[in-house]
Amino acid sequence: MLKKSALKTVLLMVCAVALCTSCATLGGGPAPEGMGYVTSDYGQYSAQLISDSGRCLNLRGGADRVEVPIGEYRLAACTFVDKDDEGAQWQIVGKSEPARSVLSVSQSRTTALTFGPPITVSLGVEQQGDALSLGLNIRGQGGETYSPAEFTQNGRQLAPPRFEIKDGRGEIIARGQFHYG
């Protein structure tokens, strides 16, 4: 179960599964020869894995492990659902740069698919002329990225976060609200 404070700080994620046009969708069952297993910490998730040879797999899982052909894969996209301490259901979508971490699936072995919390958040700042652009950079433990626009709580998109800028004396010099996109 996720901590309420972590959910409010980060907003949470659901990963899009749309990078490949020809992906195989896999689910439970016994592993035939040349197969291993993947598990996740989430009771409900989907993930898209891509191998270096271009094989694309869409996984849908829960508490049970999912069979996967042996090989090395990279996380391309993910989605997970979890509840906070007050029972609200959060769904979060993320995507990953396929060059990130490698998931090695071995014959008849179970490998943990890592994504999601702990999540780190940093502020990105860009200046174009007189305009200052602020953005949230949200990353999960597998290197995947999340957009606050992709967080939903009980099926509803969250309002964009607000911010305040204070000077050295602690006085507010600007206020605003982030915009999605």
pLDDT digits (tens, 9 = 90+) for 62-94: 878 999 999 999 888 899 888 889 999 988 888
Q: Which stretches does DSSP call E strand in the chain?
A: 24-26, 35-39, 44-51, 56-61, 66-69, 71-83, 89-95, 102-105, 110-112, 120-128, 131-139, 145-153, 156-157, 162-166, 172-177
Number of domains present in the structure of the chain: 1
Question: DSSP class of residue 7?
Answer: H
Q: For residues 93 and 79, is the Cβ–Cβ distance under 8 A?
A: yes
pLDDT digits (tens, 9 = 90+) for 22-41: 345 554 444 445 899 999 88
Q: Which domain holds residue 150?
A: 1-181
The predicted pLDDT at position 55 comes to: 86
- Cα dist from 155 to 37, 89, 90, whole Å: 30, 8, 8
CA–CA dist 13, 2 (Å, integer): 12
